Amino acid sequence: MKWPAMGYARVESLDELWQVLDAAGPEAQILAGGQSLLATLSFRLSEPSGLIDITRIAALRGVSVAGATLRIGSLTRHAELGRDPLVAAHAPILAEAAPLIAHPAIRNRGTIGGSLALADPAAELPACVVALDATIVVASRGGERRVPAADFFQGLFTTDLQPGEIITAVEVPVATPASRQTIVEVTRRSGDYAMAGLAAVLAMRADGTVDAARLVFFGVGSGAEIATGASAALIGAPLTRATIAAAQGALADDLDPPGDLHGGPELKRHLARVITARALDTFLASAEQAA
Amino acid sequence: MNEIVTPKSLGLSREDLPNSYIGRSVPRPNARKLVEGRATYTDDVTLPRLVHAAFLRSPHAHARIVSIDTAAALAVPGVVRVFTGADLAKVCDPWVAVLAHLKGMKSAPQYPLPLERATWQGEAVVAVVAETRAAAEDGVAALAVAFDALPAQVDMETALAPGAVVIHPELGDNLVFTRTAETGNVEAAIAGAHKVVEATFHTGRHTGVTLEPRSIIADYNRADGTLTVHHSTQAPHMMQNVFATQLRMAEGDVRVICKDVGGSYGIKVHVYPDEMAVACMSKIMGRPVKFIADRFEAFGSDIHARDHRIKGRLAVDAEGRFLAFDIDDLTGIGPYSVYPRTSAVEGNQVVNLCGGPYAFDNYRCTTTVVLQNKAPTSQYRAVGHPIATTVTEGLVDLAAEALGIDPVAIRRKNLIRDDAYPCTSPAGMKFEGLSHHASLDKLLEMVPVEKIRADQAEQRKRGVYRGLGFASFIELTNPSPFMYGIGGAKISAQDGCTVRMDPDGSLVALSGVTEQGQGTEAILAQIVAHGVGVPVSKVKVVTGDTQTTPYGGGTWACRGAGIGGEAALQSAIALKEQILEVAGAMLQAQAASLDIVMGEVVDKATGQVRMPLAELGRIVYYRGDTLPKDLARELVQTRHFITKEYPFAFTNGIQASWLEVDVETGMVKLLEHWCVEDCGRVINPMLVDEQVRGGIVQGIGGALYEHCIYNEDGQLLTTTLADYLVPMAAEMPDMHVGHVETPTKESLLGAKGAGEAGTAGAPAAIMNAINDALSPLGARVLAQPFTPDRILRALGTIA
C-alpha cells in the first residue's frame, strides 16, 4: 500500500521542535529512525497529519559518561550502540543486544529513543533498559523530567510519554566489577522478533553471592516484563544450579504470556525457563572461578 | 551420453573449440543489468494516460455482497472510475478451470470480480482506478461495501462431511476431483507382508514469494482495436489466448510483452482475477491501466500450494524389499480451481509420483481435491513433488527403522536398477533413463557418512542431537501435451526459436521460452553460439513478446532448457548450414569443407580462416548482386521442438541433510546439505547448481519456515514478511551439488529440467534428518513446517 498524503517538517533544534509541534497539532507524529513508523504508514495503520523529523537535532545525539552515569542520546542508532566503546564498557548488555535487533539496514536507521517510545513488547531495548534500571529523560516545552525505566513502560505499545514530550536520552548506571549482564533470545530466524527473550542484569560479589537481580523478559507479554519472583529467588545466595532452578520455577507466577503465531502460552513459558538457565549459566563459571 | 551428440553430429570441428559453450559456466549476459537496477520490470514501464488500479478485497472468508456504494470513492481527488463485478462481466466471459483428462473434475465459473459472493478473504471485490496508486487506495478506503458474512468452510477435512458449507451450491458438493491409481493387489501384499509401516503426513500451505510481485499493465487501443499487455508472466502466449478468449477478441489483436521478471516459481503462470479485471478496465476505458500487487495483497491473492494431508502405508518383506505403497491424499484448494492449469494437478501429481524412485509391484494412491474458503492453490515450484517425496521417503525411513536396516541400505535395495530402463512405474509413469544407483554412489562420495555417524554418537553423549536424513526423488520435466493440452487447455507443449544473422555477423535468437531471473536467456545464448560457431557475446536473445517470438509455452515445469533449448540448437544448426552454403558459393568451396569457429568461416581440415561472418553479412545484405542468382541467402532459420516418445522427461536425484535439533528450544539448525541430481545434459554448470541450491532453499522454506496460517474463521494471519517466514541466508547450510548426466535421447541437446529437483527432495531429507536426530528420544515429527512448537510437542516437552 502507499502512504496517505501527509505533511513533513524537519527541525534542527528542540526549540524549533516545540514550535512546530504546537503548529502541527496532536495528529502529527515524531519521526526518528522511522523503522517501525514507516511500516505502519505503508499499511495505513496510522494516518498522522504530518511527520516531524528530529534526526538533525544535535542535542539528541552522542554517548557520554558523567560520574557513574552513562548518557545515551535518544537518536543513537542501534548500529552505533553496537560499536560504541563507552556502551561496551559501561552497559555491555546494550552492545550485546544491538546485533539481535532486526537486520543491518534497520540497525543503521533505527534509534534507541524510537524503540523505547514505541514500546513493542517483543523489542530488546525496552527490556534492557528496565533490567539496567535506567532512567528515561523526557523533555517538552515545559522542561525535562526523568522517569525510571520500569515506570516508563505501561503496557502494550504504551508509555508514560505525554503529548508534546519526546525522549531526549537514556541514563544508565555504569557497570561495576560486580555487574553481570547478558541478553538471550530465541528467534525463528536471525533478526526476527523473539519468541521469548531475557535481559538479565545481576550484581554478584566475589564469592558469587547475588546482591541484586533483574530478570526482564520480552516477547512473552505486553511489554518488558520484570520477573520479580525469579529475580528474588536469586538474591542473597551464591548463584548455583539450584538457585537457577528456583528462578525458573518462580516464572510460573511471574509470566502470563499470550500465544502468538509461533505457539501457545505453554511454549512461551517453556522457552522462558530455557533462556533463564542459558542466561544465568553464563554467570556460573565466573561465580565458580571467584569461589 | 547420447551417441548422437558428438562434435561431428553437432556440426562442430572440435568439442574443445573456444565457442564450444555447452557444459561451460558462461557468465550470464543479463546479470549486470539486474544488479545495476537497469532491468525493465513491468512497474518500470510507464505509458501516456496511464491510470492505476487498487482493489477492495473481501475482509470475510465467505460473504454475500449486499451493496456497493461508490459515491464517496468517486469524489476522492484523482479517482477516475470504480468498477464492480457486474461492470466487468459485460466485457468478460467467466472461466471454468477443469481439464478434460482429469475425469469428473468440476469447478465453478469465476469472474474478474465476483458478482454476488466473496469466497475467500483477500478476494478482489471492487476496483478503483485513479491517477496514482495512492489515490486509488484513497478511493478504496472511501468505498462503502456492505457484506453479509456467511459460514465459511475452512477445514478441508470436513469439506465433504454432512453439514459442510457447500461453497458453490450449483456443484452439489465441495468435491473438485478424485482419482485412484491402482496396480497389483495392495490388500493381498499388505496381508502377506513381513511388516507394514503407517503414518499420516502434513505438508503446510505455503506460497512462492516472488521478489517482484504480480504486475500488469493492460493497454487497449480503441483506434486499432488492439490490447497490449505488459505482464510479469511465465507464459506470454498462454495469456494472449486467455485475454483474447475471455475479452471476446481475436487472438491476433492481443500482444503480451514480458520483459524482466523478478522470480516466478509457478506463481506467475496462472490467470488471476484481479489481473483479468485490469484488462477489462483498460478495454472499457480505452486507457492503459497498471496494477502492481503489494506484498500485503500478494499473500492473500497469489496462489498458495501444498495444503495436503497424506496417509501412507508401506508393506515390506523380511529382507526389506518394498511390496506395496498405499497412499491416501487429501488437499484443500480454496474456492475455485485456478485457470487454466487447474488446482487438481498437484493432487494428481501426488498420485503419479509416490514411490517413484523404487521398484515394487503393488500400488494404490487416491487423491481427493476439495473446495474451501481460503486463497486458491495451484502449481508452485515442483508441483506435488515435495509432497510425494515426503510421504515416500518418510515411509521408507519408517520401514528401515522397523526392520533395523540402515536408511542407505534399504534405499539401495529398492531403488530401480540403473540398467532397468526404459520402464514404467506402478503409477504408470514411463521412465526413459534414470540413475538412482549412480546418484546414490555419487552422494556417498560426497557425504562423509562414517564421520557423521561417529560425530552423531559422540554428540549424543553430550546431549546434542544431530541427525542425517536422505531422500531419493524423481522429477517430472519437459512435459508433452499429455500434461495440459490433452485436457483441452491452450497451453503449448512445443516451443520454437528463430535465429538470424545480421550484417555484422552477430546473431539474434527469438525464443518462445521466457526468462524470470534464472538464466534462460544465458543458456539460449550459449546453445546458439555453440550451434552456429560464434562467441557467446555475439548472440542477443529476445524472449517475452507474443508478436515477435515463435509460438511457445513459456517457462514452467522445467521445460526451458529441454524444449526451448533444443529448438534453439536445431535452429542454430540450420542457420549454420545456411551460412556455409552461402560461404561455399562465395569461396568456391564445398560447404561441407567449411566450418564456423569463433565467428569466422574456416577451412574444416586446416582451420585456416577464410572469411569473417561480418564480411559474409556485408556481401549478403549490401552486395547481393555479386552472389549467384539462384543462391538461397536467407540467414534466418526457425525450428520448433516437441517431445514425442515420452509424456515427460523424468529426472532423478537424491539429497541428504545433516542438522542439529536443539531439544530444549525445538529449533533446527541446518549444518550441511547435499544434492546429487541427473538433469541430463548440463548446459551451464553454475546455473544448474544455483537452480538446485535455490530449489533446496525453497524446500527448506516449506520444511521449516513458510506457512500460510489461517484462523478458524478463514482469516489469513501471515500477511507480512515478519509473520510469513521465508528462508534467509543466515540460516541456510552449505549446499553441495553433484551431477550424474543421463541425457534424454529425445533431443540432440539431451537436456532435462533442473529447476525443481532441489525443492522436490529437500523437505523429506530434512524431515528424515530431524527424526534421525530425535530417534533416541522417541520423538517423531510428520507435519510441516517443523516448527519449535511441533518439535517440542513431539518431545512431550509441552502438551
The ipTM, to two decimals, is 0.96
The rounded mean pLDDT for chain B is 96
CA-wise closest residue to B324 among B427, B408, B215: B427
Q: How many independent structural domains does chain B possess? A: 3
CA-wise closest residue to B648 among B284, B385, B336: B385
CATH code of the region A58-173:
3.30.465.10
Q: Do B664 and A274 touch (CB under 8 A)?
A: yes
pLDDT per position as a tens digit, B784-794: 999 999 999 99
Q: How many CB pairs under 8 A join A and B?
A: 63
Residue B157 lies in a domain: no
Which one of B594, B624, B641 terminates a domain? B641
Q: Closest to A1 (Cβ–Cβ): which among B137, B723, B788?
A: B137
Q: Do A189 and B722 touch (CB under 8 A)?
A: no
Every domain of chain A and the residues it spans = 7-53, 58-173, 179-290
Separation between Cα atoms, residue B601 and residue B533, nearest integer Å: 9
B297 and B308 share one domain:
no
Domain A7-53 part of CATH 3.30.43.10: yes
| Spatial contact of B671 and B658, defined as CB atoms under 8 Å apart | yes
B548 and B697 share one domain:
no
**Residue B723: closest C-alpha in chain A:** A261
Residue B4 pLDDT > 90, yes or no?
no
> What pLDDT score does B18 carry?
57
**Residue A274: closest C-alpha in chain B:** B664
Q: Is B737 strand, coil or helix?
A: strand
**Residue B793: closest C-alpha in chain A:** A267
Residue B20 pLDDT > 90, yes or no?
no
> What pLDDT score does B1 carry?
33
Chain B nearest-CA distance from A241, in A, is 17
CA-wise closest residue to B365 among B222, B536, B183: B183
Which one of B641, B669, B686 terminates a domain? B641
Give the β-pairing of A69-73 and A135-140.
unpaired
> What pLDDT score does A138 carry?
98
Q: What is the mean pLDDT of residues B625-648?
A: 96
Q: Closest to B798 (Cβ–Cβ): which among A189, A261, A266?
A: A266
Residues in chain B: 799
- Is omega for the bond preceding B48 within 30 degrees of 0, making it cis? no
B787 and B740 share one domain:
yes
B248 and B128 share one domain:
yes
Residues in chain B with CB shorter than 8 Å from the CB of A121 are none
Q: Do B788 and A2 touch (CB under 8 A)?
A: no
Residue B188 lies in a domain: no
Chain A nearest-CA distance from B465, in A, is 17
Residue B206 lies in a domain: no
State whether residue A8 sits within 8 Å of chain B by CB: no
Q: Closest to B789 (Cβ–Cβ): which among A5, A262, A274?
A: A262
Tell which wins on pLDDT, B154 or B5: B154
**Residue A4: closest C-alpha in chain B:** B134
Residues in chain A with CB shorter than 8 Å from the CB of B664 are 274
B230 and B342 share one domain:
no
Which one of B641, B669, B689 terminates a domain? B641
> What pLDDT score does A46 carry?
84
Separation between Cα atoms, residue A74 and residue A188, nearest integer Å: 29
CA distances from B377 to A286, B341, B366, B772 (A): 56, 11, 19, 32
Chain A nearest-CA distance from B289, in A, is 17
DSSP characters over B197-224:
EEEEEEE--EE---SSPPEEEEEEETTT
Window A:54-93, CB contacts with B under 8 Å: none
* E strand residue ranges, B72-203: 79-83, 117-118, 124-130, 144-149, 175-183, 195-203
- Residue B384 sits at φ, ψ, to 5 deg, of 80, -20
Contacts of B117 (CB under 8 A, 6+ apart): B62, B63, B64, B65, B150
CA distances from A168 to B153, B695, B733 (A): 53, 48, 43
B520 and B593 share one domain:
yes
CA distances from A104 to A101, A123, B342 (A): 8, 16, 42
B512 and B476 share one domain:
no
Instruction: Return the residue matching grid coordinates 510425494.
Output: B388
Q: Closest to B294 (Cβ–Cβ): which among A1, A5, A264?
A: A1
Instruction: Return the residue matching grid coordinates 535455490.
Output: B694
pLDDT per position as a tens digit, B83-94: 999 999 999 999
Q: Do A2 and B134 touch (CB under 8 A)?
A: yes
DSSP characters over A35-53:
TTHHHHHHTTS---SEEEE
A235: exposed, middle or buried (Cβ count in 10 Å: 0-12, 13-18, 19+): middle
Chain B nearest-CA distance from A35, in A, is 13
Grid cell of B614 as nine digits: 561480418
Separation between Cα atoms, residue A114 and residue A107, nearest integer Å: 12
> What pLDDT score does B777 carry?
98
Which of B206, B719, B787 has the highest number of chain A CBs within 10 A, making it the mutation to test binding with A? B787
Percentage with pLDDT > 90 across chain B: 96
Residue B133 pLDDT > 60, yes or no?
yes
Instruction: Return the residue matching grid coordinates 519526546.
Output: A166
Q: Do A1 and B664 touch (CB under 8 A)?
A: no
pLDDT per position as a tens digit, B680-732: 999 999 999 999 999 999 999 999 999 999 999 999 999 999 999 999 999 99
**Residue A196: closest C-alpha in chain B:** B665
Q: Do B789 and A264 touch (CB under 8 A)?
A: yes
Candidate from B8-12, B75-79, B366-370, B515-519 with smallest mean pLDDT: B8-12
Grid cell of B118 as nine digits: 466473496
Domain A179-290 part of CATH 3.40.50.1100: no
State whether residue A16 sits within 8 Å of chain B by CB: no
Q: Do A189 and B728 touch (CB under 8 A)?
A: yes
Q: Is B557 strand, coil or helix?
A: coil
Q: Do B788 and A44 touch (CB under 8 A)?
A: no
> What pLDDT score does A4 carry?
85
State whether residue A4 sits within 8 Å of chain B by CB: yes
* Confidence bin at B5 (pLDDT 50/70/90): very low
Which of A3, A43, A187, A188 has the highest number of chain B CBs within 10 A, making it the mutation to test binding with B? A188
| Spatial contact of B702 and B785, defined as CB atoms under 8 Å apart | yes
Residues in chain B with CB shorter than 8 Å from the CB of A5 are 134
DSSP characters over B402-463:
HHT--HHHHHHHHBPPTTS-SEE-TTS-EES---HHHHHHHHHHHS-HHHHHHHHHHHHHTT
B603: exposed, middle or buried (Cβ count in 10 Å: 0-12, 13-18, 19+): middle
| Spatial contact of A81 and A72, defined as CB atoms under 8 Å apart | yes
> What pLDDT score does A285 carry?
65
B503 and B411 share one domain:
no
Residue B584 lies in a domain: yes
Chain A nearest-CA distance from B798, in A, is 7
Q: Which residues lie across from B79 on neighbouring strands?
A: B130
Chain A nearest-CA distance from B732, in A, is 10
> Range of B284's domain?
43-150+213-261+267-301
CA distances from A9 to A22, A49, A61, A139, A164 (A): 13, 11, 19, 19, 16
Residues in chain A with CB shorter than 8 Å from the CB of B132 are 2
Q: Do A195 and B664 touch (CB under 8 A)?
A: no
Q: Closest to A193 (Cβ–Cβ): which among B296, B665, B722?
A: B722
Residues in chain B with CB shorter than 8 Å from the CB of A102 are none
B21 and B111 share one domain:
no
> What pLDDT score does A291 carry?
44
Our measurement of the distance from residue B236's CA atom to the centroid of its chain's CA atoms, rounded to an integer in Å, reads 15
Residues in chain B with CB shorter than 8 Å from the CB of A192 are 722, 725
Residue B2 lies in a domain: no
Contacts of B394 (CB under 8 A, 6+ apart): B199, B201, B312, B764, B767, B768, B782
Which of B206, B789, B791 has the highest number of chain A CBs within 10 A, making it the mutation to test binding with A? B789
Q: Do A270 and B792 touch (CB under 8 A)?
A: yes
Chain A nearest-CA distance from B377, in A, is 22
Residues in chain B with CB shorter than 8 Å from the CB of A263 are 787-789, 798
Percentage with pLDDT > 70 across chain B: 98
CA-wise closest residue to B179 among B392, B365, B389: B365
CA-wise closest residue to B557 among B498, B488, B484: B484
Q: Closest to B792 (Cβ–Cβ): which among A43, A193, A267?
A: A267
Residue B322 pLDDT > 50, yes or no?
yes
Window A:199-238, CB contacts with B under 8 Å: none
Grid cell of B590 as nine digits: 564445398
Q: Closest to B789 (Cβ–Cβ): which among A5, A192, A267?
A: A267
Average pLDDT of each block of 10 consecutive residues along chain A (291 residues)?
Answer: 91 97 93 94 89 97 98 98 98 98 97 98 97 98 97 97 96 97 97 96 94 98 97 97 97 97 97 98 68 44
> What pLDDT score does A290 carry?
43
Residue B7 pLDDT > 50, yes or no?
no
Chain A nearest-CA distance from B487, in A, is 39
Which of A101, A193, A248, A266 has the highest number of chain B CBs within 10 A, making it the mutation to test binding with B? A266
